[in-house]
Structure formats: C-alpha cells, structure tokens
Amino acid sequence: MGGAQGRPMRADAARNRARLLDAATEVFTTRGVGVPTEEIARTAGVGVGTLFRHFPTKEALLEAVMVRRLEEMAVRTARLADESEPPEAFFACFRLVVEQSEGKNEFAQALAAAGVDVHASLHEPTMEIQGRLADLLTGAQRAGAVRPELGLPEFLALLAGTSRAMEQLGADPEPRERIFQVVFDGLRPRRGTSAK
Amino acid sequence: MGGAQGRPMRADAARNRARLLDAATEVFTTRGVGVPTEEIARTAGVGVGTLFRHFPTKEALLEAVMVRRLEEMAVRTARLADESEPPEAFFACFRLVVEQSEGKNEFAQALAAAGVDVHASLHEPTMEIQGRLADLLTGAQRAGAVRPELGLPEFLALLAGTSRAMEQLGADPEPRERIFQVVFDGLRPRRGTSAK
Amino acid sequence: MGGAQGRPMRADAARNRARLLDAATEVFTTRGVGVPTEEIARTAGVGVGTLFRHFPTKEALLEAVMVRRLEEMAVRTARLADESEPPEAFFACFRLVVEQSEGKNEFAQALAAAGVDVHASLHEPTMEIQGRLADLLTGAQRAGAVRPELGLPEFLALLAGTSRAMEQLGADPEPRERIFQVVFDGLRPRRGTSAK
Amino acid sequence: MGGAQGRPMRADAARNRARLLDAATEVFTTRGVGVPTEEIARTAGVGVGTLFRHFPTKEALLEAVMVRRLEEMAVRTARLADESEPPEAFFACFRLVVEQSEGKNEFAQALAAAGVDVHASLHEPTMEIQGRLADLLTGAQRAGAVRPELGLPEFLALLAGTSRAMEQLGADPEPRERIFQVVFDGLRPRRGTSAK
DNA sequence: AATGAATGAGCATTCATTCAT
DNA sequence: CATGAATGAATGCTCATTCAT
C-alpha cells in the first residue's frame, strides 16, 4: 500500500510534488494556513497550476502535509520503541511527538473546520500512531514508570498540551527542559499511592 | 483609564457595544475567528455599520474580546488570591486560568498573526494578570509548594498547555482531573532536591 | 406573491438591481453568457460585490434575466389575447413571442447545462406563458384557423425555431415577413382535410 | 487545396487526427463546446499534446469538426440531388440538412463569437453546400413546388430554424413529422397567387 | 447614532496552451 | 511524434470596510 499507484510518476512530477509538500509545510507552519496558495507555489518554485494538479484543493494539500508528518512520526516512533525498553521508550517518544507536533495544531483545527471530521487519509496514520502510543503507555505503566490510572485520551491530551506549551516558550532549551521535567515527574506514580 | 472618552456614551450605544462583545465572544469561541463580521453583527442583533462604529477593525473587536476576558480573569484571580494562602491560591488560580482560557488559544494566534506582537490595549491587562500570577508563583515557591527553578515564562506556558490539553479532552470531569493531578504533582518540588 | 418580500427594499438598492438586470440582459444577449461578471457589473455602473449581493450566483443572474423576460412576455401575451379574437390573437402572439425570444436561446441552454432541469423560479412564469399559449392554440384550432393535429410541444418548438430563423436573418423586415408567411401558411389546416 | 501539405502524414498521425475529430464531434454535440480540451483528448485516447499538435487551437478543432460535417453534408446533398428530380430532391435535402444540423447550432455560435466572421476554412464547404442548396431551391421554384418569392437567405434561415425546432422536440418521430408538414406546406406556393 | 447597501482587493480554482521527457 | 506535467492569465465569489440613507 502507500504510494503504489498505477504509474510510477515522472521524475520531475515527483520532485515538484515533494517541493510543494516541503514549501507547504514550511509556510503553513511559520505563517499559518491562511497564506495564499499562490505564495506556496512560488515558494516551491512552481506555478499555481502545478500545485492544483498535484493537490486538487488547498485543503487536500493541508491534509497531505499532515499525513506526511504523521507518517514520519509513526516511523520514528516505531524505531524508538524498538531501540529501548518500555519506560525509556515511553519518555523518548513523548519528547519526539511533542517536538514534531509543534506548529501542527493549527493544521488540525483548519482541517476540522473544513470537513465534518478528520479526513479518511488521515485516519490510517493517526490510528497507527495512536496504537503505538497506547502500547508504549501500557508498557510504561506495567513497568511502574507511569501512573496506572491514566488512559490514552489523557495521554494524547498531555502530548498536545505539552506541544502547545513548547510553542509558547520558543527555542531556548533550558525552559523547555523544565517543562519536560514537570510533565514527566507528574506522570510518575505517586509514592504514597503505590507504596501503600 | 479604560472607556473614559469625552462623552459618557449613550445608553443604547453602550448596550450595543456589550451585545457585540457577547456575540463576538460566543461566535469566535464556538466557530473560530474566520466567521464574517456580518454574522457577528447579526448575532448581536445590530447592523455591520454599528459593529465598525464601535470597533474600527475586526482585529480590534478580537482584541476587545480578549481584553474583557483578561480583565474578568484579573478580577477573579485577585479575589482568589485574597481569599486563600499562597499555595492554595496558586493552585486555585491555575485551575481558574486554565478553565477560562479554553477556546481562547485561537484568538491569541490570530492576533499574533496580524500585528507583530501583542497589541497595546492587551498589554495592560496582560501585565496585570502576569504580575498577579508572578506573585502567586513566588509565594507558592517560598512556601515550598512549587519547584523553585520555574520561571514565569514556563509557568505561563504550562497554563497555555494545560488549557490546550483540556480543549482536546472535552467536558468529562474525571479525565480533566487526572490532567490536573499530573501537572500539579509535576509542579511540586522533587523530594531529593528539597531534602538537601 | 411576486416581489412581496419582507421589507420594501431601499430606493438605491432597487435601482441597482434594475440596472444590473438591464446590463445583464444587454450584455448576455449581445455577447453571450460567457462575459465575466465583472464586466456586467461595470456596464451596470456598480462593483462586483453589488452584483453578488443581489444575485448570489452568475447563474442566478441569468435566471433573473430570463424570469423578467418571461414575465414581460406573459403580460404582453395576456394583453394581446384580451384585445383580439382567437385566430388573430394566436398569430399576433406568435409574432410577439418570436420577436421577444430572439437572442434568448443561448440563455436557456446555459441554464439547462448548469442545473439538471429548468429552475424553480423559471417554472412559474414558464407555466403561465405556456398555459396562455395553449389556450390560444386551442382557440385558433376550434376556430378552424390552425391544423387540429398540432399539440403544444410542436407549437412551442415552432416558436423556438422561428425565433432561431429570425436570429439568422437579421433586421431587414421583408425576409422576416416571408418567414412568417411560410410558417403561418403552414400552420393553417389543409384544404382536403378541412373540406371533408 | 485541402490537406495537401509537404508530407503525406504518417498513418498513426492520420488515425489520431480522425479519432480526435470523432471524439470532438461526439463531446461537443452532447455536452457543449465548454468541455475542456483535456477531456476531448482523453475521449479520443490521446494526450492533450497530440490534440494541440493536430489542431493549434481549440477553436481550430471546432472549425475542423464543422468542416467535416459540412463536407459530409455536401456529399450527401449532392448524391440526393442526383438521384431525384428537383422538387423531390429539394424536400429530401431539406430533411437531410435539418437532421444533420441538430446540435450543430451551438458550434456556429461559438465560432461566430470567437472570430469576427466565419473562418476561411469553413468558407469553401459552406459555399459548396449553399450553391447546391441554391440550385435545389431554384429548381423547385421553377417546378412550381416552392413559393417563388423566397430567396436563399430565407431558405437557409428556415433550415436553421427547423433544425432548432427539432432539437427542442426530441426523438419522437410523430411530432417531428408534423413540424416538417407545417414547414413544407408553408413553403408551397399559395393557390390564389399561382392561380392568377 | 444605526443601518445595510456598495465597494473592490483578494483568493481558490480552471483551462487553453507550451514544453521537457 | 506522443505524452502529460507545467504554466499563469482569467474567473467566480467572499468579506472587511466605507458611506449614503
């Protein structure tokens, strides 16, 4: 599955598609989803027509950007999960997802505003990541590293929230690290609770 | 200060202004900042002309909505801070601000996207709240209830992030409470650290 | 019924609406339905926004133009039918409809291409005119002035066809008159048939 | 004259040209001249590039379609004229032209809208048919079967108009026949006139 | 002061035509 | 020669803002 369509797509077409995705990611992230399509095309170094040949709708472009980010995240999450043991993998993936999600919040809102719910093409990678995160959560909880009462929804909400906090904080690494300390400490089981 | 212009503003004008603010708050919060001004006017039961007489710009209306929310928050924060002692006041205000901020995130982004930085009229109430929050933070830190290494920026970022997490979580109180538990526990000083 | 909406519409708004209809009629008739909306607005002396305030769609404008022509035609047809006796009224209305329909053919095609069938607002005046024409036809047939085997569809088709012929012929009255002679003579009952 | 360029055109090129003409005839007739060129190419089973190699312009394609139809009509008209005597030939050709012209009206309008007048390449076959029709008309008039006062322009206008009437009427043969009866009877000389 | 009609710059999208593969 | 990706001018429509009533 994945990119296996009928024809293999011409070299230049593939390059333009990639350029458009890169440009859109960059522009949407830094300047918001309100930027004119024409500007995205210009940033990618192609004409508007090309943009609309590859993505029939501005919304479709937005979606494709998100799908790609989600897929990348899925791959990296999977790799991290394989490399380390449950508790470490859990926290490493938490960091990864938070950092990869920065600037993506607006996308989701824009998409949600457009269609009734999240689009079909987003569903698959979303589910894949969520499944992996659910496994990491349970693993870390079994290992006693994370409070057992937390469910997947709270975990995902914490990811989104931490990402939002980072957006507000800027690039300076020290304050960012302090935010992670707060959240990670908060995730650990309470002494009294587990000890009793 | 505030609305002290030359004339005291006619009664019906004041009522229209209030209606517009209410309508804008409602509409922006539930349907986003992209809603046409005309619709806000209709919701308020006035014509567009009236809207633009009171707020010279859509952005100005957005700003006024935020100012009002911030002012309300300042008042309620002040009351809370007076009623209880530092550590309790700190956590109570944290809850208050988080709950009052839900749905407001998009506003801030829209405003930030428009002007270079936060606008002048927002500066005053923002400063007031921040000042109060800063006091609460230092008070709680002195009382040993909050990690001493946290600065105001991290605190504000945590507020924004927690609010974001709540937006994602919906209205069910139990998961929301678990989020608060995580963040509040994370805010407390580490055993080892304080023991030294 | 008819134009009786809630409010009576401001004077300038009514004038602009009329101007737009006039301009659209003129421009669509002489240069086809492909002309940009902007040009119609310019011809009417208003901005595009005004055009779209009055007619939410280019197609809606097209429709309104046709409705007005049909309504005018209904009125004039009714007047003619009242002034004269069946056979004369029939032929007089035939001429009238043919002359009023010139240039209108393309409209109908454009509308038909857009929606599946003729739009709701066109239905009423269309039905009114068709009803009147049906009455005229039967009246003329009873008076023995028109071949009895002709149905309403053939009659309407002949109207459209004669109008088309006139479009091709230009303004010179003599050839036009000869076309009418051919069609009118052809409409009369055959000797043999009526003699029986 | 005609298609006599330098090279005789490769076999596959000729086949593509024919396919394109067929596809264009089909598509223009059934769905109007507004259909994108790409779709015509797809229908023909070739790429757009090929279309534009054979016909430098969409308009040129339109023209070529009409030329071919006119040429076919010229051939069939000639054959009919040879097979029968003046009056019968006249009416047979009238039927033929009317039936062949259905759906073609829009083409002519589109072409007329584009250039100032009918294009050069259309001139030759148009003249040929018109000459033949003129001969048929005079022949039928000499034989006393058609009103002598009718000129070629009126005749052509009647052809166009009858064709338009048929378009409106649909495929049911009985009403169509009644239209022909009306027009043919109308074309015959008036008793009183000829009796004098 | 309130109203809502008018305005027009701005945007997403289409499509005839060109050109690299 | 064929292909179909690339192009960008053109178009219908929206919406913040102005202004006549």
**A90-94, B112-116, C92-96, C105-109: which has the minimum mean pLDDT?**
B112-116
Angle separating helix axes D120-142 and D58-83, nearest 10 degrees: 20
C-alpha–C-alpha distance, residues D54 and A155, integer Å: 63
Find the helix packing angle between D37-44 and D58-83, rounded to 10°: 60
Name the residue among A158, A164, A182 with its Cβ closest to that of B179: A158
Which pLDDT score, from 0 to 100, does residue D9 have?
66
Nearest nucleotide by C1' position to the C58 CA atom: F12
- The superfamily in CATH containing domain C63-190 is Tetracycline Repressor, domain 2 (1.10.357.10)
Please list every residue in chain D whose beta carbon sits closer than 8 Å to the beta carbon of residue C175: 151, 153-154, 157
Domain with CATH 1.10.357.10 in chain A: 58-189
Q: What is the CATH number of domain D9-56?
A: 1.10.10.60
| Average pLDDT rounded to a whole number, residues C80-109 | 83
Fold designation for C8-56: Arc Repressor Mutant, subunit A (1.10.10)
What was the pLDDT predicted at A113? Answer: 56
- Every domain of chain C with CATH number 1.10.10.60 lies at 8-56
Q: Residue C86: its pLDDT value, please? A: 78
Share of chain A above pLDDT 70, in %: 85
Residue C178 clears pLDDT 70, i.e. is over it: yes
Percent of chain C topping pLDDT 70 = 86
Closest to A73 (Cα-Cα) out of A182, A159, A180: A159
A-chain CB neighbours of B154 within 8 Å are 169, 175, 178-179, 182
Q: With contacts defined as CB-CB under 8 Å, which chain B residues touch A161?
A: 161-166, 168, 179
Using the structure, give the distance in angstroms from the CA atom of C108 to the C1' atom of E8, rounded to a whole number.
Answer: 31
Q: Look at the block and give the residue holding tokens 């006091």.
A: B135
Numbered ranges of CATH 1.10.357.10 in chain C: 63-190
d(CA C38, CA C47): 8
- pLDDT at position A190 is 81
**pLDDT > 90 fraction of chain C, expressed in percent and rounded:** 46
At residue A16 the predicted structure's pLDDT band, cuts being 50, 70 and 90, is: very high
Residue B5: pLDDT over 70 = no
Least CB–CB distance from D168: residue in C157, C169, C181? C157
Beta-carbon separation of B190 and A185 below 8 A? yes
8 Å CB contact of A186 and B182: yes
CB spacing of D161 vs C157 below 8 angstroms: no
CATH of the domain spanning A58-189? 1.10.357.10
Any long-range contacts for B32-38 (C-beta under 8 Å, 24+ apart)?
B32/A109, B32/A113, B32/B106, B33/B62, B33/B106, B33/B107, B33/B110, B34/A113, B37/B61
D158 neighbors C182 (Cβ within 8 angstroms):
yes
pLDDT given at position C32: 86
A interface test, pick of B147, B178, B191, B194 with most A CB neighbours within 10 Å: B178
Interface of C with D (CB under 8 A): 31-32, 34, 105-106, 109, 113, 147, 149-151, 153-154, 156-158, 160-166, 168-169, 175, 178-179, 181-188, 190
The CATH class that applies to domain B65-188 reads mainly alpha
* Most confident option among B5-9, D19-23, D114-118: D19-23
Residue A14 is predicted with a pLDDT of 92
Residues contacting residue C175 through CB under 8 Å, at least 6 positions apart: C169, D151, D153, D154, D157
Please tell me the least confidently modeled range out of A130-134, C8-12, D137-141.
Answer: C8-12
Determine what percent of chain D is predicted with pLDDT higher than 70.
Answer: 86
Higher pLDDT, D187 or A72: D187
What tens digit of pLDDT does each residue of C119-150 get? 777 788 888 888 888 888 999 999 999 999 99
Q: Which CATH architecture has domain B10-56?
A: Orthogonal Bundle (1.10)
Note the pLDDT of residue B54.
96
- State pLDDT tens for residues A91-144: 999 998 888 888 777 766 665 555 545 577 778 888 888 888 888 999 999 999
Domain with CATH 1.10.10.60 in chain A: 9-56
User: Of residues B1 and B27, which shows the higher confidence score?
Assistant: B27
pLDDT bracket for residue A1 (50, 70, 90)? very low
Report the range of poorest mean pLDDT among B32-46, D32-46, D160-174: D160-174
The answer to whether the Cβ–Cβ distance between A109 and B32 falls below 8 Å is yes
Kindly state the average pLDDT of the residues D169-192: 90
Instruction: State the nearest Cα–Cα gap between D171 and chain C, in angstroms.
Output: 12
Nucleotides of E under 7 A from a protein CB: 1-21
Give the model's pLDDT for residue C113.
57
The alpha carbon of residue C29 is apart from the nearest alpha carbon of chain D, in Å, by 12
Token couple for A63? 């979606």
Report d(CA B22, CA A143) in Å as an integer: 50
Q: In terms of Cα–Cα distance, which of C196, C164, B118, C195 is closest to C183?
A: C164
Q: May I ask the CATH class of domain D65-189?
A: mainly alpha
